[in-house]
Amino acid sequence: MIQITLPDGSVRQYESGVTALDIAKSISEGLARNVLSAEVNGEVWDATRAITSDASLKLLTWNDDEGKRTLWHSSAHLLAEALEAEFPGVKFGIGPPIENGFYYDVDLGSHTISSDDFTRIENRMKELAKRKSAYIRKEVTKAEAVAYFTEKGDEYKLDLLKDLEDGTITFYQQGDFTDLCRGPHIPDTERIKAVKLMNVAGAYWKGDEKNKQLTRIYGITFPKQSELDEYLRILEEAKKRDHRKLGKELELFTFSDKVGQGLPLWLPKGTALRERLVDYLKKAQTASGYVQVITPHIAHKDLYVCSGHYEKYGADSFQPIKTPAEGEEFFLKPMNCPHHCEIYKAKPHSYKDLPLRLAEFGTVYRYEQSGELHGLTRVRGFTQDDAHIFCRADQVKEEFVKVIDLVLMIFKALDFKDYVAQISLRDPENKAKYIGSDENWNKAEQSIIEAAEERGLNTVVELGEAAFYGPKLDFMVRDAIGRKWQLGTIQVDYNLPERFELEYTGADNQKHRPVMIHRAPFGSLERFVAVLIEHCAGIFPLWLAPEQAILLPISDKYNDYAKKVSQILKNYDIRAAVDERDERAGKKIRDAELSKIPFMLVVGEKEEQSGSVSVRKHGEGDLGSMSIEDFAGLIQQEISSAFN
C-alpha cells in the first residue's frame, strides 16, 4: 500500500500502481470525468500513469492552468492525427500548448493550407475525438525512436531526437497517431468536446530564419461547447474594442504613409485625452518630489557611445544625422536616460541632495522592424512618461514604494483592477552576465521584494528575467475582457551610473556611485492610450473624455441658448460641444451615442424658458431635466468619485 496526500492534507491508502484517475473515481465519478492530468509530487503527470510510491497528489481539471495545458497539448496531437488523415505524408515539427490553445508546426510538402480547410479538419478532429481513443504513454529507447521516425521520414522529429538522451524518451499514441512527446496527456480524446482552428501562419523550424518555414496551425479546444461559444464571444468583443478601429471612429489618432510608418498623428480629440493624462501624472509627480526637465530630440553620437547604446543598437536604429562638419554625427534620441545622466552631472551632488528625481515626457524614436509595428502599441516615435531617480543604495526600497504608489493611483483612476507585479531577478546560476556588484544586486532585489510586499502587491518572481543592468518590477494588467498587458515598469540600473561616472559625496566625504532607477507608470503614452481604449471600449472615464457633454438643440431656434449653456459649463471646467446641425433630435442623439459622449443635453423651448437642460446619459438614457448648476454638480461629483 502507498500513501497519497491530497491538497487538503488528508492522506489516503491505495494499492501501489494506482493512477490519479483511479483515485479521482474513488472520490467521485463526476470528478473522474473532469480530471485532465495530475500533479504528482509537484510534477504534472498523465492521470493514467501508475503511482508506485507515497506521493502528494493534486488532481488537475479545466479549472487549473496546468489542466488546460494538458487538454490543449493533447488537442495538438489530435490535430496532428486529423492532419495525417487529411494530408498523408505530412511531417510534424512541434505542437505545444500556448496561452490560449495550442499550435502544431507542420510541413505539408507541396500542399498549401488555408482557413478554407479548417472546417474539414475540425470535423475530422471532432470525429476522432468521439472515438474515445486513450493517450498511451510508452517509454522507448533512442534507437527505437530514431528507427520509427526514419521509417516515417519525419526529419523534424529526428532533429529533435538528436538533443534527447536515451532513457528519457517517450512516445504517446492515440488512435493511429504516434508522436515523440514528453507528455503529459489527458486520459482519452473524448474529453475534447469543442474544437476551433483559429488561424494559420508561417513559422521557422526552431524559430531560426535560416531554417525551413513550416506552416503553423493555431487552434483551441474546450471540454464544453458553451466554453468555446464564450471564448468566441470574447474574441468578437476584443475586435470591437480594437484601439485601431476605435481610434479612427472616435477621431483620436491617425497614420499617414507620407509621414511614415509607425509615426502616429494625434488628432485634436486624441491630443485632448493625452494631455489630460500628462497633466494628471505631472501633478502627481510634482507632489511626489519629482522635478521636470526637458532634453532635445537629437544628441551627439558620443552620448550613445558613452551609454553603450551605440554599440548595441546603432546599426539597427535610425541612421545618423550628418552635419556640415566633417565626421560629426547626431542621433535621434532613442531613450532619455543618457540625457538625464548628463543633467545629473551638471553639478556636484551631496548625499543630502538624493534622491534626485528627474521627470520628462520625452519623445523618443526607435527603428522598430517593420513587421513589429502595430497600431499605437508598437510605434517608431513615442513619448515615454519617463523619470530617473538617482538615489543612494539605502534609498532604493523607499523609492520603489513611492513609485508603486504612483502606479497604483493611476490604475485606480483608470479602473484597472486586476494586476500582478512581476519581479524580474538575476539568474542565480549565471551571475556573471550581469553588471554591478553582488552586494548591490542582493540589496536591490531584496528592496524590490520588500517594497512590493509592503504595498501588498500580488507578485510573481521570475528568475533570470532581469536586464543585464539591473532587476525590475513590471505591472501586468488584465483589462476588462481578461487580456494581459504590461504597463508600468520600474527598473534598477547599475550600468549607466558606471558608464557616465555619476557620483555623489557621502557623509564620509568620499565619492560614491548613486543607483539609478528608471520608471514609467504608463510605459509610453501611445501604448497606454491604446490599452486604455481597449480596456474601456472607447467609453473613457468622465474626467478623461475628450468631450464630456454635447448640447443638442431641438431646432436651430435654440442654437443660441445651447451655445450659452456650453459657455456656462466651460466656466465649471466642463467640456461641452454644441451640435448645431440642421438635424432632428433623434439623429443628433444617435450620433452622440455612437461617438460615446458621456452626456447629451437636449434643449428646446421648455429648457430655454426655465434655464435648464434635459439630460441623457450615454448608454443609460433619459435622466430628466435639471438646472445647469445641478448638471454641473452631477458631473463634478462623478469625476471626484473616480479618484476616491
Please give the torsion angle defined by the CA atoms of residues 388, 394, 396 and 400, in that order, rounded to the nearest 10 degrees.
-130
User: Of 174, 285, 384, 395, which is the active-site residue?
Assistant: 384
99 contacts RNA (rule: CB under 7 A):
no
Q: Which of 171, 351, 367, 543 binds RNA (CB under 7 A)?
A: 367
Closer residue to RNA (CB): 204 or 351: 204
Please classify residue 430 by burial: count the beta carbons closer than 10 Å to its beta carbon, then call 0-12 exposed, 13-18 middle and 19+ buried: exposed
In the complex, the smallest distance separating the C-beta of residue 614 from RNA, rounded to whole angstroms, is: 3
Please give the size of the binding site for RNA, defined by CB under 7 A: 64
In the complex, the smallest distance separating the C-beta of residue 413 from RNA, rounded to whole angstroms, is: 26
Give CA–CA dist 479/415, Å, rounded.
9
Sheet containing strand 170-174, edge to edge, reads 136-139, 170-174, 177-180
237 contacts RNA (rule: CB under 7 A):
no
What count of residues does the chain have?
Answer: 644
209 contacts RNA (rule: CB under 7 A):
yes
Q: Which stretch binds RNA (CB under 7 A): 36-44, 312-320, 419-427, 435-443?
A: 312-320
Decide if 636 is catalytic: no
Looking at beta carbons, which pairs linking 206-212 to residues 24 or more positions away fall under 8 Å?
206/159, 212/107
Q: Which of 33, 142, 193, 244 binds RNA (CB under 7 A)?
A: 244
**Positions 384 through 403 that interact with RNA (CB under 7 A):** none
Q: Tell whether omega for the bond before 338 is within 30 degrees of 0, i.e. cis.
A: no
Give CA–CA dist 48/137, Å, rounded.
9
**Positions 428 through 467 that interact with RNA (CB under 7 A):** 467
User: Of 107, 179, 385, 386, which is the active-site residue?
Assistant: 386
**Positions 615 through 644 that interact with RNA (CB under 7 A):** 616, 619, 621-622, 625
Q: Which of 165, 257, 429, 508 binds RNA (CB under 7 A)?
A: 257
In the complex, the smallest distance separating the C-beta of residue 555 from RNA, rounded to whole angstroms, is: 2
Q: Which of 644, 637, 641, 642 is nearest to 572 (CA)?
A: 637
Give CA–CA dist 352/356, Å, rounded.
10
Decide if 337 is catalytic: yes
User: Of 124, 241, 388, 426, which is the active-site residue?
Assistant: 388
In sequence order, what are the beta bridge partners of 331?
A: 299
CA distances from 498 to 185, 313, 442, 493, 501 (A): 51, 19, 18, 9, 5
Q: Which of 124, 378, 402, 513 binds RNA (CB under 7 A)?
A: 378
Return the beta strands (E) in 415-514 as ranges: 418-425, 459-463, 472-478, 484-493, 504-505, 511-512
**Positions 553 through 612 that interact with RNA (CB under 7 A):** 554-557, 581-587, 589-590, 593-594, 600, 602-607
Q: Which stretch binds RNA (CB under 7 A): 127-135, 155-163, 254-262, 346-354?
A: 254-262
Return the beta strands (E) in 507-620 as ranges: 511-512, 515-520, 549-553, 576-578, 599-603, 612-617
248 contacts RNA (rule: CB under 7 A):
yes
What phi and psi values does residue 114 have, to the nearest 5 degrees?
Answer: -140, 175
Joined grid coordinates for residue 220: 483551441
Decide if 388 is catalytic: yes
Q: Compute the C-alpha angle 610/614/616, nearest 5°.
A: 170
Decide if 386 is catalytic: yes
Q: Which of 27, 143, 201, 463 binds RNA (CB under 7 A)?
A: 201
The residue ranges that bind RNA (CB under 7 A) are 199, 201-204, 207, 209, 213, 216, 244, 248, 255, 257, 260-262, 309, 312-313, 316-317, 334-335, 337, 366-375, 378, 467, 554-557, 581-587, 589-590, 593-594, 600, 602-607, 614, 616, 619, 621-622, 625
Which residues are tagged catalytic?
A: 337, 366, 384, 386, 388, 472, 518
